[in-house]
């Protein structure tokens, strides 16, 4: 069995710094707030896939130690009942074991001490369990790309809804699609749906003009942002162009569409992206740490950059200066 580098994988999940970044990124533009919360929720699901094996291991250790302590207190040899084929512990063991686990016994377990030794991060796990861990790593990649794909589309839509003036013109060079502008036309039925008041739904109306499932292409994610944010948007494009997004998308496509077998497109991406597995999509802790961690952080930077762009482009509200009362003037 190959080394899954579980230590690097487990080290990813004390992500307090990442989630602090999420909360500190609270947008000043109200329309972007639901986008951030949705991204945070999706990130939690991705991270929980990594927490799950540790939770299972710690629960098993807690259960084992509590049952052993209960057997000893009641005068039974720990786990002697298992040797004679009995599926249930002796009378009273289950009740005492549960009290110990719930902290209701004088000999309650110190969970902090119990979980200090992390066999999972040291790779000391049953061989059969490694297959499930590989599957969880694959699901993390798939879930991560879903989180990013959702973010890219929702953020673009919310930005145009919040600031249609300029953004909805899609003036970016790559958004012009030559001289033919017919692709930008909006159906009358859509106008009727919003009762012809489209001042706050331009992003919703234009979103289907682009393919937010693909980073590249004439109508891909990057082109959508280049089309809308066509000036003074270097920080937006810098975050979106981070190679970790391409790496996650490449691994996800091979996992979902090719059963993990590398195709020519993946091999071309792997030559340009050294963080990708080169021969096969053999995921391990280092591969995930080197690709998933920077992508999660760049997604936060993208939200902040879009929020700042809109704030800078929004006219500042000024309080009018009141004329002095003539009664108090000489």
Give the residue, 227 or 57, on which the prediction is more confident.
227
Q: Could you tell me if residue 181 is inside a domain? A: yes
Distance CA 184, CA 207 (A): 10
Which is higher by pLDDT, 237 or 266? 237
Q: Record the pTM.
A: 0.78
In angstroms, the CA 47 to CA 52 distance is: 9
Residue 223 tokens, joined? 């082109």
52 C-beta neighbours (distance < 10 Å), count: 14
Contact 52, 115 (CB under 8 A): no
Domain count for the chain: 1
Containing domain of residue 141, as a range?
6-51+127-313
- Name the most confidently modeled range: 92-101, 151-160, 216-225: 151-160
Residue 91 belongs to a domain:
no
State phi, psi for 303 to the nearest 5 degrees.
Answer: -60, -45
Does the structure show a pLDDT above 50 at 44?
yes
196-226 per-position pLDDT tens digit? 667 788 889 899 899 999 998 888 999 999 9
* Residue 102 confidence class, pLDDT cut points 50, 70, 90: low
Rounded to an integer, what is the distance from CA 230 to the centroid of its chain?
27
168 assigned to some structural domain: yes
For residues 36 and 329, the model is more confident at: 36
What does the pLDDT look like over 58-90, one tens digit per residue?
A: 777 677 777 777 777 777 666 555 554 555 666
Domain assignment present for residue 121? The answer is no
- Contact indicator for 136, 50 with CB cutoff of 8 Å: yes
Domain assignment present for residue 329? The answer is no
| pLDDT band (50, 70, 90) for residue 24 | low
Question: Would 298 be classed as within a structural domain?
Answer: yes
Which range has the worst mean pLDDT, 150-154, 235-239, 244-248, 317-321? 317-321
Average pLDDT score, the chain = 78
3-state secondary structure 22-77: HHHCCCCCHHHHHHHHHHHHHHHHHHHHHHHHHHHHHHHHHHHHHHHHHHHHCCCC
pLDDT at 25 over 90: no
Whether 296 maps to a domain, the answer reads yes
Structural domain contains residue 292: yes
């Amino acid at each position: 069995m190959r080394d899954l580098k579980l230590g690097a994988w487990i080290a990813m999940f004390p992500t307090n710094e990442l989630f602090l970044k999420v909360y500190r990124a609270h947008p000043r533009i109200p329309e972007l707030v639901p986008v951030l919360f949705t991204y945070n929720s999706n990130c939690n699901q991705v991270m929980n896939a990594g927490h799950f094996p540790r939770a299972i291991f710690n629960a098993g250790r807690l259960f084992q130690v509590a049952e052993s302590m209960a057997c000893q207190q009641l005068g039974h040899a720990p786990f002697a009942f298992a040797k004679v084929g009995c599926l249930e512990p002796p009378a009273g063991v289950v009740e005492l074991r549960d009290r110990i686990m719930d902290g209701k016994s004088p000999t309650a377990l110190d969970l902090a001490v119990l979980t200090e030794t992390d066999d999972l991060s040291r790779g000391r796990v049953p061989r059969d369990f490694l297959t499930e861990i590989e599957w969880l790593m694959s699901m993390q990649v798939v879930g991560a790309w879903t989180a990013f794909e959702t973010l890219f589309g929702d953020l673009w839509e919310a930005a145009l809804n919040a600031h249609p003036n300029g953004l909805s013109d899609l003036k970016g060079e790559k958004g012009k699609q030559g001289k033919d502008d017919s692709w930008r036309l909006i159906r009358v039925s859509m106008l009727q749906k919003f009762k012809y008041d489209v001042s706050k739904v331009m992003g919703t109306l234009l979103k289907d003009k682009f393919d937010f499932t693909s980073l590249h292409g004439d109508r891909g994610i990057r082109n959508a942002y280049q089309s809308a944010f066509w000036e003074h948007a270097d920080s937006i494009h810098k975050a979106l162009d981070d190679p970790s997004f391409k790496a996650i998308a490449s691994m996800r496509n091979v996992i979902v569409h090719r059963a993990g077998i590398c195709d020519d497109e993946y091999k071309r991406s792997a030559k340009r992206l050294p963080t990708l597995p080169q021969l096969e999509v053999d995921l391990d802790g280092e591969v995930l740490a080197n690709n998933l961690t920077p992508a999660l952080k760049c997604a936060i930077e993208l939200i902040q950059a879009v929020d700042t762009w809109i704030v800078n482009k929004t006219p500042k509200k000024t309080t009018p200066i009141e004329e002095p009362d003539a009664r108090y003037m000489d």
